Amino acid sequence: MGIINYLKRKAEKNNPQRENYIEKHHLSYQNELAELNHNIDQLKSTKSKNQTRLSLLEKRKARVEKILKHDI
């Protein structure tokens, strides 16, 4: 049961180690978000829109935004 409790603690949203990691890499997440926004805008402006790629980029963007808000 010790390993289960350990894994539960590691997975908690409010884990201080997780918050420190996010704060430490905050700038790289912001850069990634800017790049994702650029790629999404570029893909939307093309005539042949690849919906699969667009949906993947939008899902990744939503995930990065949640990370920056500490929701994940």
pLDDT digits (tens, 9 = 90+) for 16-60: 777 777 778 888 889 999 999 999 998 888 876 778 888 899 999
Global pTM reads: 0.63
Neighbour count for residue 57 (Cβ, 10 Å): 19
Pull the structure tokens for residue 9: 């603690």
Domain ranges of the chain: 2-68
Pull the structure tokens for residue 4: 């289960």
3-state percent helix, strand, coil for the chain, nearest multiple of 5:
80, 0, 20
Long-range contacts of 59-66 (CB under 8 A, 24+ apart): 60/36, 61/33, 61/36, 61/37, 64/29, 64/32, 64/33, 64/36, 65/33
